[in-house]
Amino acid sequence: MEKSQKILNLALLAGVTLLKSGAEIFRVQETMERIIETYEIYDYHVYVISNGIFATINEKQPDHYSVVRHVPLGSVNLQKIDEINQLSRQICQEKMPLEEAYSKLSQSAVIEPPNPHSMVLASGLGAAGFCFLFGGSLLDSLIALLLGLILQIYLNHTSGRRSKFLSYIIGSILVTAGAGLVVSFSSAFDFNHIVIGSIIPLVPGVSLTTSVREFFNGDYVSGTIHLVDALLTAICIALGVGVAIFLFTSLGGQLS
């Protein structure tokens, strides 16, 4: 393998790992560029968007090399981003040998899936906390806690088996129907507060924030991708809640 190819593969591995972990576009591009320049190559081009990397090196030389890599949108992993950032700084400062740098980066690039039990607990606590924050009572928060737990268990079960958007629609229907059933048995609960708290784990806050950040950085393509993802997710949540309310009231259920 040519040296230029090894250098670009090293930079690409760092870039792909950062992008999969939800890093900003400018961070991914700057990291790749600094790694390439560390090994004294300045004839290169790197172009990064939210779900892809295009890079070429030594374009005018006999050992030129180009790559195109599709990177599906993933969830944010700040620990992995920090780990790759620290390692890339070490590579640049020490001008680490290529084989050693690639070996260390390969070990750090392994993205472990989140602990499903932790995700379930976080979803329940988040739902309960936001229910209380938006004016719900302790009883409302308790129901939101239970629905948040059920929601995340469902999402964990369907992860990778069906479209994210379909899972969000069904998940919204699930928590809204659960809130409706609880309210129909007792007027001590507030339907609106329970639903608002329960659907919080689905809200695309990170995608929307990332979109705004990309727009301010001038990365309009990436900003648009994240914005569309956030809007579609919000529409799916609204659709699920609306469908559940329509079916519940059509069957004679009372929500207040």
For the chain, the domains span: 3-108, 116-250
Q: What is the pLDDT along the chain (256 residues), one digit of tens a residue?
A: 578 888 888 899 999 999 888 888 888 899 999 999 888 888 889 998 888 899 998 877 777 788 888 988 777 788 888 888 898 888 888 888 888 888 888 888 777 777 888 888 989 999 999 999 998 899 999 999 999 999 999 988 887 677 788 889 999 999 999 888 888 887 788 889 999 999 999 998 888 888 888 888 887 888 888 898 899 999 999 999 999 888 888 876 666 6
Token representation of residue 221:
């393509």
Which pLDDT score, from 0 to 100, does residue 25 have?
A: 86
Helix (H) or strand (E) holding 68: strand 65-70
pTM of the model: 0.77
C-alpha–C-alpha distance, residues 53 and 12, integer Å = 8
Please, are residues 170 and 216 in contact by the beta-carbon 8 Å criterion? Answer: no
Q: Is the alpha carbon torsion for 228, 234, 238, 243 positive or negative?
A: positive
C-alpha–C-alpha distance, residues 126 and 147, integer Å = 11
Which pLDDT score, from 0 to 100, does residue 127 have?
A: 92
C-alpha–C-alpha distance, residues 223 and 152, integer Å = 27
Q: Is the alpha carbon torsion for 11, 111, 25, 217 positive or negative?
A: negative
Q: Which of 155, 152, 160 is nearest to 121 (CA)?
A: 152
Which pLDDT score, from 0 to 100, does residue 160 have?
A: 67
User: In sequence order, what E strands does the chain have?
Assistant: 44-49, 52-57, 65-70
Q: Following CA atoms 132, 137, 143, 145 in sequence, which dihedral angle do they give, to the nearest 10 degrees?
A: 30
Terminal Cα-to-Cα distance of the chain (whole angstroms): 69
